[in-house]
Structure 1
Amino acid sequence: MGKGQDTKEHIIRQSAGLFNTKGYAGTTLSDIIERCQVRKGGIYNHFENKDEIALAAFDYSFAQLRNLLAEAMAAWSTRADKLLAICDVYVTLIEQDVCEGGCPILNTAVENDDGHPLLKQRAQHAMTELMTALGKMIREGIELQEFRSDVDVKAACSVIIALVEGGLMLSKLFDDNIHIRHCTDQVRAYIKGNLAT
Structure 2
Amino acid sequence: MAKEVRETRSYPLRYRLRTAVEPVVQGEFRCTGLTQTAVDVMVASKLSQALVVADGLARRLHDEGVLPDDANLLSVADIRHGIAAHPFEAARRRAEHVAGLAGPLAESAGESYSRAAFDFLGFEQPVLQHQFRDDDGFIGRSDCWWPEHGVVGEFDGKAKYLDVDIRGDMTAEEAVYREKLREDRIRALGYGFARWSWADVDNPDRLRRKLLAAGLRPRHRS
Q: Whose relative contact order is higher, 1 or 2, with alpha carbons under 8 Å and at least 6 apart? A: 1
Query: Which has the larger strand fraction?
Result: 2
Q: With structure 2 as the length reference, what TM-score do the two structures score?
A: 0.26
Q: With structure 1 as the length reference, what TM-score do the two structures score?
A: 0.28
Query: Which has the larger helix fraction?
Result: 1
Q: Quick check: which has more Rg, 1 or 2?
A: 2
